[in-house]
């Protein structure tokens, strides 16, 4: 599947294709404006970390769509997942962040390799099972807090979302957004 972006950006862009320092994951709306969601290369932008070192509330991390604002609110040593993403400089870009709950769902919709209950669904070769950029059949943290002691996860085995205590260790994959 290819998506036409505004002239001068790229025309057209296939899901999973190299784009702006990472890989094109789809178009996300935020504050009524379209953005290209870009997933970091696995080797440079993925880790297994805790969302927070303690299961306590985090002010400013409740947005379902604004992963940048959530990540900025958590960019400190008490929030290893967000700090890891914000510290990345990949492809000359330093605006990487932990994806919001909405953006993680978009990643699953367009790039999930499939397993278990879901047949392989992505058309992006680089993200299919066993490919170098494939999201693991595991849970990944989002930047969206659920409650004072837990945050949202996105699963890439069956595509659902759930919440878990912040001090648990799960996968993290950095993303960035490019205005269209």
pLDDT of residue 101: 98
Tokens 């409650």 belong to residue: 147
Q: Rounded distance, CA 126 to CA 133, Å?
A: 5
- 12 — pLDDT class (breaks 50, 70, 90): low
Supply the pTM of this predicted model: 0.91
At 121, list the tokens.
Answer: 């669904």
pLDDT in tens, 69-104: 999 999 999 999 999 999 999 999 999 999 999 999
Give Cα 68 distance to the centre of its chain.
Answer: 11
**20-64 pLDDT per residue, tens:** 999 999 999 888 999 999 999 999 999 999 999 999 999 999 999
Look at residue 6 and tell me whether its pLDDT is greater than 70: no
Range 121-128 average pLDDT: 88
pLDDT in tens, 135-168: 998 999 999 999 999 999 999 988 899 999 999 9
Q: Among 153, 169, 57, which Cα is nearest to 100's?
A: 153
Q: Are 96 and 45 in contact (CB under 8 A)?
A: yes
Task: Provide the sign of the torsion angle of the four alpha carbons 136, 101, 20, 97, taken in this order.
Answer: negative
pLDDT at residue 119 greater than cutoff 70: no
Q: Average pLDDT for residues 101-116, to the nearest whole number?
A: 88
pLDDT at 2: 53
Ranges assigned E (strand) in the chain: 2-3, 13-14, 18-19, 22-30, 33-39, 46-50, 139-147, 150-155, 161-165, 169-173, 175-179
Burial of 11 (0-12, 13-18, 19+ CB in 10 A): exposed
């Amino acid at each position: 599947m290819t998506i036409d972006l505004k002239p001068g950006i790229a025309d057209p862009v296939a899901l999973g294709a190299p784009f702006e320092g990472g890989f094109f994951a789809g178009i996300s709306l935020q504050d009524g404006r379209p953005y290209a969601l870009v997933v970091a290369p696995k080797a440079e932008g993925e880790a297994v970390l805790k969302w927070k070192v303690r299961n306590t509330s985090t002010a400013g991390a409740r947005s379902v769509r604004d992963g940048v604002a959530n990540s900025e609110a958590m960019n400190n040593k008490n929030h290893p997942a967000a700090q890891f993403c914000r510290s990345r400089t990949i492809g000359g870009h330093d605006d990487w962040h932990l994806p919001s709950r909405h953006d993680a769902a978009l990643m699953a919709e367009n790039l999930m390799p499939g397993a278990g209950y879901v047949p392989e669904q992505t058309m992006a070769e680089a993200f299919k099972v066993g490919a170098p950029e494939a999201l693991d059949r595991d849970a990944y943290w989002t930047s969206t807090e659920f409650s004072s002691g837990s945050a949202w996860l996105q699963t890439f085995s069956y595509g659902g979302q759930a919440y878990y205590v912040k001090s648990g260790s799960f996968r993290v994959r950095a993303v960035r957004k490019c205005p269209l």
